[in-house]
Amino acid sequence: MLECISGNLEPYVIFFAALVAAITVFSYLFSTRSCHMIHALPVKRSELFVTNYISGFLFLLLPQLITFLLNLIVCILNNISSVEYLLYWLLYTIGMSFLFYTLAVFCCMLTGHAVAAAVYYFVGHFLYIAIKSIATLIVSSMCYGMKILGDQVSTTLTETRDAVLSPFVYLLDHVSLNWSMNNDFTAVDQINMQGGMLIGLYCIAAVVFYILAYVFYQKRPLECTGDVVAFGWLYPCFRWMLSLVGGFGLSYLLSSLLFDNTARMATSLFVFLIPCSFISFFVSEMLLNKRFHVFSGKRWVEWAVCIAICLLGTGLIRSDAFHIERKIPETDQIAAIYMYADYEHLYRDEADFETLKKIHRNLLDHKQEYLSYSYQQNHSKYNLPEAQNAEFATSISSDSTGSNTSTSVSYSNGDYISSIQITYYLKNGRKVMRRYEIPVTNATLKDKTTPAYQISRLETGKEDLLRYLLCNNYEDISFINGNFSHVDKNGHDENVSLDQQQTETLYEALKADILAGNYPAGLGIHDTEDNPIYYDSFYFYGQVPGDIEYLTDLLPSGKSANTSGYYKAAPINAANTAVQNTRPENYYSSIEVSFSLSKSCTNTIQAMIDLGLIKSASDLITQDAFYAMINTQG
């Protein structure tokens, strides 16, 4: 029964059925002969409207009532006691039916054409999300550091509450039925229906649209049958809406198709905006007048004003007149900061907030220098081997944050571009996301004023790397065994099994190298001639009491990224909730981790020698030497 209720809470059928019902009962408004005949009858318009409205709504209501009664009889015959959720389902579906049907009727009042009514209905449910998406894409292509918003626009549309202005999509994501079973799967343990308050608020809004539809029907001119817009005072709204949405949408589409992720994209938006807005504006005028001759002087002036406003607004965004690029939240507004450079970090202390904000300001100060790295063709060109001509750098031994930890990592001429992502999680539930591309070279890693230097100091020799390579609760891991993947000088693979003591010894050595900054990770140039990365690697297998915790589990918006061997987190439903409930009281999650190795990992290499895995560091083969050997052999 619960599966049936859960599946039928999705509003797809109601969404389309409401439109069909509204167009059917008010179909006479779309035909001149029918419209005049119906309104010639001795019946008030108010009576016609109310009668037709109720008739159409009954088309939706009666099937739901019949379904409810039939399911109620089945439940009674099968001794199912939780029938109150059938009533909840009925109330939910009636509420959504009232909302969708009222909006469909409202759309019918705005036009004298059935196809236009259907278009208005669909557009009305998706217009806000469409406008928000277009605006986000344009801002992301013009503002420094905001391309990440464009990359994630499809996944973040309904995360904020303003998406409530697109009812169908918002209801689809926020109305659901969740339940869990008891330990022996014999009974439902807990049932939770979500979205009741939301549907209630939507119904209040639907009452407002009902009143508007009633008023529009009273004022509707009979001569508007066949017209795209029924009221003359709505003509400018129609023209401007189509001109703005169509102009910006088409111009972005053309720019992304021809100049995606290039320096020309922002300029092309300005260029394409003029013809796209022109086409959208005068196509709308043609639809309104139902003829092609629409190029009057008055319309030329109106379009000129429209395109001037569009270009002015776009120019202000491009010049960052609204300070979108330089927006950095105040410290007291921040709940947490997530940063991903060479690996991910999560900061929740105010002192760390200030450090990250200083790095963020430094990234903004380098806009003119680093902007070109944001474009794909420059990114690829910069990473070509022939472009890597920087001089060798020496090891870095100071920490800009004041720590006395030193590092023996040395860098060579493997210059590259690195993406730096910074996400502010605010206390009000919102997020501020930015992503910057910066050059990682020997020069930038030695210059204390560059973001590359500051971030490398932040990432080198830190406990965050252990949390990233293992898990957030890495201190609770107990390793059981492991494997050492080794390649000899002849290129033969050899897998050496490690017992628990060997695994723990090597782990402690690796941990010491990580905290000392010897491990080849963090923002920097690794695998150099002075400090090569070896082809050999370790695989450790262990377990953690309870669930494995990852940094993403600790984010304020908190979608679980648990991937433990025993239990994988997922949206609540009958199956996985039952699995969660049947876990033993003292359970463990399995974990598997791998580690690479470089010449600077002196603690680990010495531990390998002490355990007899190798005789000396010369027994280890570098990645470059291994691939050269493979190429030589065939």
Average pLDDT over residues 119-145: 91
CB 106, CB 89: distance < 8 Å: no
Phi, psi of 563 (to 5 degrees): -130, 40
- The amino acid at residue 543 is Q
Q: State how far the Cα of 229 lies from the Cα of 220, in Å rounded to an integer.
A: 11
Helix (H) / strand (E) containing 438: strand 431-440
Checking if the pLDDT of 182 tops 90, the result is: no
Q: Is 189 exposed, middle or buried (0-12, 13-18, 19+ CB in 10 A)?
A: middle
What pLDDT, in 10s, does the model give residues 287-312?
998 888 888 889 999 999 999 999 99
Q: Is 53 exposed, middle or buried (0-12, 13-18, 19+ CB in 10 A)?
A: buried
E-only strand ranges, 348-387? none
What pLDDT, in 10s, does the model give residues 487-501?
877 777 888 999 999
Average pLDDT over residues 100-117: 95
Helix axes 84-109, 12-25, angle to 10 degrees: 40
SS3 547: coil
* Residue-level pLDDT at 428: 86
User: In 568-597, which positions are buried (b, 16+ CB within 10 angstroms) versus exposed (e)?
Assistant: eeeebbbeebbeeeeeeeeebbebebebbb
A 10 A CB-CB count for 527 gives 18
What pLDDT, in 10s, does the model give residues 322-346?
989 999 999 999 999 999 988 888 9
Average pLDDT over residues 560-583: 37
pLDDT bracket for residue 576 (50, 70, 90): very low
CB 12, CB 100: distance < 8 Å: no
What pLDDT, in 10s, does the model give residues 245-270?
999 999 999 998 888 767 788 888 88
Percent of the chain residues topping a pLDDT of 90? 47
**Torsion angle of alpha carbons 61, 65, 68, 73, nearest 10°?**
-170
Sheet containing 533-545: give its strands across.
493-498, 478-487, 533-545, 588-598
SS3 helix, strand, coil % of the chain, rounded to 5? 55, 15, 30
Both tokens assigned to 612: 């007899």
What pLDDT, in 10s, does the model give residues 380-418?
444 443 333 333 333 333 333 333 333 333 334 568 888
Helix axes 235-259, 297-318, angle to 10 degrees: 50
* Residue-level pLDDT at 486: 87
A 10 A CB-CB count for 516 gives 19
**Torsion angle of alpha carbons 130, 135, 138, 139, nearest 10°?**
-150
Q: State how far the Cα of 485 lies from the Cα of 528, in Å rounded to an integer.
A: 22
Helix (H) / strand (E) containing 493: strand 493-498
Query: Could you tell me which residues are beta bridge partners of residue 194?
Result: 176
Both tokens assigned to 449: 């004023």
What pLDDT, in 10s, does the model give residues 432-491?
999 999 999 888 988 999 999 999 988 887 888 898 889 888 899 999 999 999 887 777
CB 364, CB 326: distance < 8 Å: yes
Q: State how far the Cα of 81 lies from the Cα of 78, in Å rounded to an integer.
A: 9
CB 317, CB 266: distance < 8 Å: no
Percent of the chain residues topping a pLDDT of 70? 84
Q: Is 292 exposed, middle or buried (0-12, 13-18, 19+ CB in 10 A)?
A: exposed
